[in-house]
Structure 1
Amino acid sequence: MKIKQTLNRFYVADIEAAIDFYEKILNQECKLRFKYPHEDLELAQIGNILILAGSNEALKPFRDTKATFLVDSIIDFKNFLLNNGATVIRDLKTVPTGMNMTVKHLDGTIVEYVEHHN
């Protein structure tokens, strides 16, 4: 079980402006960008920042999620988390990049876990 990367989540209305700004400030290019039509969102990753863009209504269910953990095995993490006082808020599902779930940790922090397709 390994967390490969932790992403800070930024919620925005204008993804183009956000990508342009964060590419400049981080001096890195956007390495991942995709639309998530099921949730009416568009996402982009620049370094350790995950930008989620959409209307206030589309973003509302996700704003309480504080971080995204990219993991090697989402099933292993689900079992570990459930055995250590966490609560699954959004269970495992297929997303454009692989599989994800959203979990409330024992301390109340809400985190998205993602296992990317190989």
Structure 2
Amino acid sequence: MPVLATLARVYVDDLDAALPTFVALTGEQPRLRFDYRDLELATIGDYLLLAGSEEALAPYRGTHATAIVESLDEVLERAERLGGEILDGPNEVPTGRNVTVRHPGGATIEYVQFHATARATLS
């Protein structure tokens, strides 16, 4: 189950206000920018910025990282075999399919299998 990339999640109030800082930090422009439910999201460097109201962000704050994977089906199989708890998903999302897993020991990770267009943004 190769992990293609791991993104640190950063929760912000205003995506437009936050992006210039991350452009300066990474020397990159956002690779993806999209809306999901009541959130605005962007990937830049190895960060996933999530912006929204406190209420909109609340269900996501407990997730520690986002991992882009080759196969979501393998994630589901391993989570079941190793005692992980599926907290959300699998879901269709703007970038492909995702699932959020709480692993034994307490780490909560979102896994995303990108569709071809989103996968092309990985570099």
* Paired letter, 1:30: P
Segments of structure 2 that go 5 or more residues without pairing to the other structure are 117-123
Aligned to 1:116: 114
For 2:64, what is the secondary structure of its paired residue? Answer: strand
Q: Which of residues 66, 69, 78 is equivalent to 2:67? A: 69
Where do 1:1-118 residues align within 5 Å?
1-36=1-36, 39-118=37-116
Give, in whole Å, the separation in 2 of the partners of 1:91 and 1:70: 15
Superimposed CA distance per residue, residues 64-108 of structure 1 (whole angstroms, 9 cap, x where no aligned partner): 000000000001111011100111000201001100010001111
Give, in whole Å, the separation in 2 of the partners of 1:59 and 1:91: 17
Q: Kindly tell me the number of residue pairs found equivalent between the two proteins.
A: 116
| TM-score normalized by the length of structure 1 | 0.96
Give, in whole Å, the separation in 2 of the partners of 1:3 and 1:106: 19
For 2:55, what is the secondary structure of its paired residue? Answer: helix
For 1:77, what is the secondary structure of its paired residue? Answer: helix
Shift in Å, 1:25 = 1.3
Segments of structure 1 that go 5 or more residues without pairing to the other structure are none
Shift in Å, 1:29 = 1.0
| TM-score normalized by the length of structure 2 | 0.92
